[in-house]
Amino acid sequence: MIDQPEPRLFSRLEIEGNKLTHQPGSVLGSTALIAGTTVGAGILALPAVTMPSGIVPSTVLLIAIWLYALISGLLIAEVSLNSIRLEGRLSVGLLAMVERTLGKLGARIAGGAYLFLHYALLVAYVTQGGDILISAFAQVWGISATPTWLGGTVFTLLFGSILYFGREKFVEKLNSAFVAIVITSFFGLLLLGAGQVKSGQFLVQNWSAVGSAVSVMLVALFYHNVVPVVVTQLEGDSRKIRQSIFLGSAIPLVMFLAWNAVILGSVSPDVIQNDVNFDPLQILRAGGAGEWLGVLVSIFSEFAIATSFIGFVYGLLDFFEDIFVLSPGEPNKRLSLYSLILLPPMSLGAVNTHIFFTALDFAGTFSISILGGIIPALMTWKQRQSNHLQQILVPGGRLTLIAMIGVTSVLIIKQILGGE
């Protein structure tokens, strides 16, 4: 018996001149979208939070967090797919889908989490990106000391000005160039770093310390805001949607696992000296494992932050434009929007230049736990209660949903109580 392809839920049609053309999405394109969204600046914080536990425990946890994120991503896809089936209209985005499913209260909670996530990550990017940028300038110009607030300020003004004054096509091409630099430098530092790995580092295992890395791993593996886009691109084909989400998240997982092993394996344990805030990337950037490896780590770090910074600034810009309903011909209000987006993280970064890991920690524990854990489970729960025929992408029934909500609630409670 020949397997028949699953019928698509709708067709993406566009008018080109006098012709109506079919514009189907591809698994490859959707996979690339998810993978590109996942690989961001969150990868930079991984070595610092996984160093206390070691390579093996952090590898096990990273795979577990990936599985958690995969389930929540498929839950969002299921809700999006069934929303199209039941309502006969496309889900515009994650927040719009939350409002349709959970009402205005759910949308406000999701919107608050979305807003907190963007600001928290922008604070992290400004401080870390500014620190790397100003360190590079100091080395080139031979400056021995600079004010701690200068890096974040320069970084924000530099890239903020590019986004504000640059045309959309220019920023798109610039971002594509940055992505190419990130990919090239990543594989370059893996090749160089593999020769620096010390086999004894794989024997370092502290399972009791592994829990402190959960929130940062959630940040690193977050791609859920683009899942409704993937459902639309693939015309509601559940088989293709599953493939894209699985492959699109598995590719970054492999990258993260390799990155984590190479970085932790390249740094000797004796340099840690029981410093809980120790960041192994600082040792590598300073040339502690070879000058060229340090250069590649700095290049990769800065451009990974820059691409993430651009994406999150645009995310907030769209968010505020929907709220304030601005027209393109209002430059003064556009300046106000950019000020609203950039000044708070720049100011907070100037006050606390060591807030990078704290910002990622809070973003992962609160915003991503809500957006990628509780809300997808609640939306699925409510949608499955209806009498309509549902497309189920995640097995396990209510037990799976309860487990998702339970795990997320434990993470949030531990963070509120100050636990590790």
* Residue 351: both structure tokens together: 């006050």
Q: What is the pLDDT of residues 190-214, one digit of tens each?
A: 888 777 787 777 888 888 888 888 8
User: Average pLDDT of each block of 10 consecutive residues along the chain (420 residues)?
Assistant: 51 55 70 82 84 90 94 92 77 77 88 87 87 79 70 89 85 83 87 79 84 87 86 86 92 91 77 59 64 79 86 82 62 80 88 77 83 90 77 88 91 72
Is residue 72 within 8 Å of residue 372, measured between CB atoms? Answer: yes
Q: What is the pLDDT of residues 66-84, one digit of tens each?
A: 999 999 999 999 998 888 8
What does the alpha-carbon distance between residue 253 and residue 217 come to, in Å, rounded to a whole number? 10
Q: Identify the residue whose tokens are 């049609």.
A: 13
Given this model, what pLDDT does residue 232 score?
A: 84
Given this model, what pLDDT does residue 4 score?
A: 46
CA distances, 210 to each of 34, 53, 227 (Å) = 26, 5, 29
Axis-axis angle for helices 168-194, 291-324 (nearest 10): 150
For domain 23-416, which architecture applies? Up-down Bundle (1.20)
Axis-axis angle for helices 55-87, 42-50 (nearest 10): 140
Judged by DSSP in three states, 54 sits in: coil
- Say what the pTM is: 0.80
Of 134, 105, 124, 133, the closest CA to residue 379 belongs to 105
Q: Who contacts 269 (Cβ-Cβ below 8 Å, separation ≥6)?
A: 201, 204
What does the alpha-carbon distance between residue 288 and residue 268 come to, in Å, rounded to a whole number? 10
Domain residue limits, the chain: 23-416
Given this model, what pLDDT does residue 227 score?
A: 87
